[in-house]
Every structure is written in structure tokens, then in C-alpha cells.
Amino acid sequence: MTDFQKMATSGLSLDARVDANKKSQKINFGDWAHNFLSPRLNDDVLEVGCGTGSQTITISRAIGKGGSMTFLDISAESVSKVEAEVMGVTRAKGVVGDMDSLSALIGNSDQNYDLAFSAYAIYYAKFPKEVLQTMTQRLKPNGKLCILGPESPHGFVELARKFHAIPDGVDLSLNFRTSVLESFLKENFGVVQTSIIKNPQYFTNPEDVMNFYRNTTYFVSKSEIEISRYVELEFKKRDIYVLDKYSYASCATERLY
């Protein structure tokens, strides 16, 4: 496993990133995502790449005991953590596995979904179009497919890029909507809605910037001191250090095939 893959699948780093994001952002991404996904009471929901449950937990509460939540992640530790939170809140089913095998992992069940979604995860698949295809096939006739993720430009990635190479997977994630997702959704659905939010990160001290950096998928320990010096100089010029950040949510309905 590469360092990038280790960071991308570590529940601990993910929790630290989610906390650091909450601290540095004005718009609460979780609330924005929840509104966009708009789960309804009794919905059957599939989530691919649930991580430690940023969306899973609030959605489970919204769909309630009459609904069902199937959530998959490659990290067994993350799936157990989410299971502990959502068991009893809804009919919950955690699945540990690689999303590239999504069809096999959920294939034996005849369960279909009102909502199938993935937040900040689908681009980790080797074959994301196949994963999107499986999610689409498992929708109920009026079901909705939603994908959320990062959008360029990304201030923190650009800060790190001044000092070291950025793993290909990061740039792939930033270009995923325009290079893969948009055409897939247009080819397979009658209605596609995309919303993009500008949600810059506001840092008030160098420690918070470095704490965020250490938990990114592009952290390079040998660049840490150099980046830290640069960030300290930035704080000598200003009290608040602001980095651009954008996210998108695309939801598709009216499946064509």
C-alpha cells in the first residue's frame, strides 16, 4: 500500500481531517450535503465509501427504523465505528470491502435503493464508472444517485504543491467531476442537478494549518519544516490565512436504461 492509500483509508486520519475541516470552514459541509441528499423517512439508502460516518449517521436518523442503510468501506475499523452509531437507529448493514467489487458485495441481495450515494470516495475505485453503473442499476425506479466531492482549485493542495509533488490520486479526485462523472450522469439519467459551494478554509494560527496538513493524503514528512516556516511567515503578514476550497454535489434522477 502506498502512503497515499494508507492515508486515504485510515479512519483516524479521516476523523482528524473532518474535525479540522469543521474548525476551518464557515459553511458546515455536513449540513449542506444532507440538504442536497435530502433523505426521506423510510428510504432505503446505499452509501459507498462511508468512512467514519459523516453522512451515514445523520441520514440514518432521517430515514428512521422504517428505512434501511447499507454502508460500505474498505476500512473494517471505519465500518465498525459507523455500525456502533447507527444500529438501532435504522435497519443498518455494514459491508467491509473494496468498492471495485460492489456488484459482488451487494449482488446477492434483491434490495434496491431510493438513494445511492458516495461522498469524497468514488474516485478511489480503480474502475469508478463500473461502480457508478452498479449503483445506478440498484436504484428503485424513482431512485436518486448522488456523488459529492472536491472541486478545483484547492488552496491547500496548491500550497503543498509549492513544496513537493502531489500524488496522482489527488489530482484525479479534483478532476473527477468534469472528467468522468458529468458524462456518466448525462448518458444514464434524464435529470442531473449539480451544485457547487465555495467554502474557503480560514485558519487563525499556524498550528491548525500544520495539523490539517499532517492528516491530508498528500502529507510529506520531509517537507513539514519547510512548509511550517512558510506558513509562519504568512501569519506574520496577516491574522487569518485563507485557502480556497470548493465542493460539488451532483444528483441524478430519471434513469434512462
Ligand X SMILES: C[S@@+](CC[C@H](N)C(=O)[O-])C[C@H]1O[C@@H](n2cnc3c(N)ncnc32)[C@H](O)[C@@H]1O
Task: Evaluate whether 68 touches 57 at the Cβ level (below 8 Å).
Answer: no
Closest CB to ligand X among residues 98, 171: 98
Binding mask 43-82 for ligand X (x = CB under 6 A): ------xxx--xx-----------------xxx--x----
Considering the rule CB under 6 A, would residue 121 count as an interface residue with ligand X?
A: yes
The count of chain residues that interact with ligand X, using the rule CB under 6 A, is: 21
Provide, rounded to whole angstroms, the least separation between the CB of residue 119 and ligand X. Answer: 4
Please tell me whether the peptide bond between 153 and the residue prior to it is cis, using omega within 30 degrees of 0: yes
CA angle 21, 47, 70 (to 5 degrees): 130
- Residue with smallest beta-carbon separation from ligand X: 51
Size of the chain, expressed as the number of residues it contains: 257
Q: How far is the CB of 90 from ligand X (least distance, A)?
A: 17
Q: What's the min distance (Å) between Cβ of 23 and ligand X?
A: 15
* Torsion angle in degrees (nearest 10) through CA of 83, 84, 86, 88: 110
Q: How many Cβ atoms are within 10 Å of 174's Cβ, its own excluded?
A: 20
- Residue closer to ligand X by CB (options 231, 249) is 249
Nearer to ligand X, 101 or 253 (CB): 101
CB of 141 to ligand X, least distance (A): 26
Q: Which cell numbers hold the place of 121?
A: 470516495
- Span from 93-101, 180-188, 207-215, 244-252 in contact with ligand X (CB under 6 A): 93-101
Residue 52 exposed, middle or buried by CB count within 10 Å (0-12, 13-18, 19+)? buried
Contact 134, 105 (CB under 8 A): no
CB 189 within 8 A of CB 143: no
The least distance separating ligand X from the CB of residue 44, rounded to whole angstroms, comes to 18
* Closer residue to ligand X, CB minimum distance, 42 or 101: 101
Which residues of the shown chain bind ligand X in the complex (CB under 6 A)? 8-9, 14, 18, 49-51, 54-55, 73-75, 78, 98-100, 119-121, 124-125
